[in-house]
Structure 1
Amino acid sequence: MKISALLSFFALLILSALPAHAMSPNEKLVYDVSWTGIKAGTTTQELSTKGSELHIVTTTRSTPWLDTFFRVEDRAESVVVRGSGDRFGFPRYFRNKISEGNHRRLKEARFDQQKLKVESKDLLHKTQRVDDISATTYDPLSIVYYVRTLDLVPGRSLFVDIYDCKKLWNTEVKVLRREEVETPVGRFKTIVVQPMMKADGFFARTGDVKVWLTDDALKIPVMVSTKVKIGKIKAVLTGGSYWPQTATKAD
């Protein structure tokens, strides 16, 4: 069981921000990540606005019991140019640093929205490539921001373009149902969505990833779960400066 890889996955998937028209200048979300009910790590995501840009940083760190045989310390960063009005905008830069035991990865991507090109580099192996992108391409962090600005209707699907420093993926996101869930920070009315992961590697074989977003204008991810070969991985919101005064929880 590659627990460290799953922790890294949640660092990319469990991300939160407000729609462009309701954006808070600073945002912090903290999640506990557990495997079969045992806490395995913590994911923290922080958002800050700098002029016309959004800066997103997410980190995942393993718990002390996992550190004894497989230390995880991952960091991903995305810089997004904000759009005008209610338009979300587009990514300018993405960087992903993985440190899991003896495994290391350091990649970055620079997006050219005018030419619809992206240049990505593997900074450890000293390689680079240039790929074509669509006008609505996002990196693995900023894609969640974009999805949360859309109208999510149970029973319908939407399709998003994600560039992961290797390939452009057109991914279906199914909007499944409305559901109330209990978390350490309260009970929430949510909309459950299921991204149909098409990326290669380990996660292409796990499947059944579900994300619970608050059923309001903010669409804050409060829980994520995925089944794996042995048990289930779950990440749950546990704290942070996450809830503007205009938001309301489930009654």
Structure 2
Amino acid sequence: MKIALLSILLVSSCATWKQKDFEKEINKPTEEAQPKVETTKAEEKILEKFEVVPVEEARPEAKAQVTTKTPEKKTNPTSTKKVEKSAPVKVEAKPVATKAVTKAKPLPKDYPPELITVNEKAKKVWDLYKPNHFVDEKVYLDIHYLGMTVGKIMVMNKGKKIINDKEVWHLHARFKSAPFYSNIYELDDTVDTYVTTEKFLSVRYSLIQRETKQDVDDLQLHDRDQFKTFWFYHQKRSDGKVKDKKEEKPIPYFSIDPFSVLFFYQGLPLKDGDVYEIPLINKGKILILRSVVEGREKLETEKGKKNAIRVHATTKYTGETLKSGDLYFWFSDDPHRTLLKAQAKIKIGSVTADIVDK
């Protein structure tokens, strides 16, 4: 989320943008990042291992993991209230009996001791997590800076896929700057991430940035069998310069990427005063996101007043994408835990993302 909030600061002006125009753009077919650097045979095997497979094309034993039935809802026989057919359906993760309990694999001999400590703390957070995700639910947010709407974001859960014979959630986001800025600086970013339905661990993260000054393809594969992340990065600047990079680094077993953390919050208790230290993986580096549930409040939104839970997240890693500083998130205080608002504090004011009607 902060990736998009910070990048929009490259432009500033006043413009209007209708939601229907944004929907036309985000519904256009998009690709996911692929390595554009030379790969070894070992890396090719890793890429093959993390290939995304639609459920209908998966092997029978992998296909069996996907829950095809939706949970039955209790109804009041005297009620005449109709249920909207377009409402998103909550689908619980259903582990396969033969894979529900798996033995932890031994750590590599050169595994950093500090990551063992990080993992032990993170496991306590993951023990609190319970699947709470709604397939096909879309959230639209307007990006504001200095009182102006300068871009839009769409976030959604695209359902289940199969990677390496494991069931995963496919989480997706599109970000675009307003059309008015196209002659100044255009941003069109796509994020796709996949996390295991059983434990909500990041498996594959893809970021594509198509901007005026650069094109970026960023692919990150997180191998829990090897306790490693594999990062493939390609940047082509408007001046013709190309930057290729790839890295292989150790990671904590319990960790996720910077985007899927928004969905991870949905499955946490979010009780007032709760503190969660969540390891995020980005470009081979580990960021600890310290999240504090500050309390409940009424939030004014375009969709009316909402009961909201405010979470204050603090980052400590300074890198190219995630900067040190404060982040605030507001989630609906109901079973959906819908993202209502996000805010990033910066040197001059703040950038906010507010939920809007479709």
Q: CA deviation at 1:198?
A: 2.1
- Any stretches of 5+ residues in structure 2 without a counterpart? 10-88, 93-130, 162-166, 236-242
Q: 1:232 aligns with which of 350, 353, 356?
A: 350
Q: Deviations over 1:211-237 (max 9, x none)?
A: 111112321110112232223211111
Q: Deviations over 1:42-99 (max 9, x none)?
A: 001222113532111211111123222111111111012211xxxx422221011123
In proportion to residue count, which structure has more strand? 1
Q: Deviations over 1:147-175 (max 9, x none)?
A: 22111122231100100123011221111
Q: CA deviation at 1:145?
A: 1.8
Q: Which amino acid aligns with 1:81?
A: T
Alignment check: 8 A CA contact 2:5 2:352 kept: no
Cα separation, 2, equivalents of 1:4 and 1:151: 26
Q: Which entry has the higher C-alpha Rg, 1 or 2?
A: 2
Q: Which amino acid aligns with 1:78?
A: T
Cα separation, 1, equivalents of 2:293 and 2:251: 25
Q: Which residue of 1 aligns with 2:158?
A: 48
Cα separation, 2, equivalents of 1:23 and 1:166: 27
Q: Which residue of 2 aligns with 1:5?
A: 6
Q: Which amino acid aligns with 1:229?
A: K
1:108 and 2:239 correspond: no
Q: CA deviation at 1:120?
A: 0.9
Q: Which amino acid aligns with 2:318?
A: D
Q: Which residue of 2 aligns with 1:39?
A: 149
Q: Which residue of 2 aligns with 1:147?
A: 265
Aligned to 2:265, the other structure's residue is in SS state helix
Cα separation, 2, equivalents of 1:217 and 1:118: 33
Alignment check: 8 A CA contact 1:18 1:220 kept: no
Structure-2-length-normalised TM-score: 0.58
After the TM superposition, which residues 195-214 of structure 1 pair with which residues of structure 2 at under 5 Å, given as runs?
Answer: 195-201=313-319, 204=323, 207-214=325-332
Cα separation, 2, equivalents of 1:147 and 1:18: 16
1:175 and 2:175 correspond: no
Q: 2:193 aligns with which of 70, 78, 84?
A: 78
Alignment check: 8 A CA contact 1:19 1:217 kept: no
Q: Which moved more, 1:32-41 or 1:112-121?
A: 112-121
In proportion to residue count, which structure has more helix? 2
Q: Which residue of 2 aligns with 1:25?
A: 135
Q: Which amino acid aligns with 2:157?
A: L
Aligned length: 226
CA shift in 2, pair 1:18/1:74, >3 Å: farther
Aligned to 1:123, the other structure's residue is in SS state strand
Q: CA deviation at 1:26?
A: 1.3
Cα separation, 2, equivalents of 1:59 and 1:3: 9
Q: CA deviation at 1:208?
A: 3.1
Cα separation, 2, equivalents of 1:198 and 1:63: 31
Q: Which residue of 1 aligns with 2:41?
A: none
Q: Deviations over 1:9-46 (max 9, x none)?
A: xxxxxxxx979544333121111101111000000122
Aligned to 1:65, the other structure's residue is in SS state helix
Alignment check: 8 A CA contact 2:90 2:135 kept: no
Cα separation, 2, equivalents of 1:170 and 1:19: 29
Q: Which amino acid aligns with 1:98?
A: Q
Q: 1:184 aligns with which of 299, 302, 308?
A: 302
CA shift in 2, pair 1:54/1:223, >3 Å: same
Q: Which amino acid aligns with 2:170?
A: H
Cα separation, 1, equivalents of 2:212 and 2:299: 34
Structure-1-length-normalised TM-score: 0.81
Aligned to 1:54, the other structure's residue is in SS state strand
Q: Which amino acid aligns with 2:149?
A: K
Alignment check: 8 A CA contact 2:143 2:149 kept: yes
Alignment check: 8 A CA contact 1:19 1:149 kept: no
